[in-house]
Copies of this chain bind each other. A is one copy, B any other.
């Protein structure tokens, strides 16, 4: 019985627009599971950063971006990389400059642009946190074999590409 109805559905979808709504329950379940995994790990990391270093996850993330860019980044760059809104970055940077972790200066060539860098203090603190952070992540993924990790990387790359394509179709 299920096999038969499947066949009919497939035939329909190969010929013409299907009236019966397609079943996408599997994709939905996949999305919820993906979200659960991320929320779980993110919450754990957030809590540990607060406990151990009294720092928030967004601040850590921002410093991580800057650590990879010794020559600094513009706010727009950061915003794109972190996939958050522009206004969000403004506030985060404000607080991190205030606390002495970031250095912010206006570009010489374009007075619209702000370039931000880690200060010596900021870099030192970030490195200290990052080292520990890496062990937390390793522990959280500890039960995955190297093969699992590779396979997940591959499938998530495919997922990212698929999602980007779909998102781009609406925002060209």
Chain A interface residues (CB < 8 Å from chain B): 21-22, 24-31, 33-44, 83, 131, 134-135, 137-144, 146, 148-149, 151-153, 155-167
Contact = CB atoms under 8 A, between A and B. Distances in A.
Contacts of A26: 146, 149, 153
Contact of A83 (B31, B34, B36, B161): B36
Nearest to A135: B24
Query: By DSSP majority rule, is chain A's interface helix, strand, loop, or mixed?
Result: helix
A155 B155 contact: yes
Chain copies in the assembled complex: 2
Contacts of A148: 155, 158
A158 B143 contact: yes
B162 A142 contact: yes
A130 to B, nearest CB: 9
A38 B105 CA distance: 33
A140 to B, nearest CB: 5
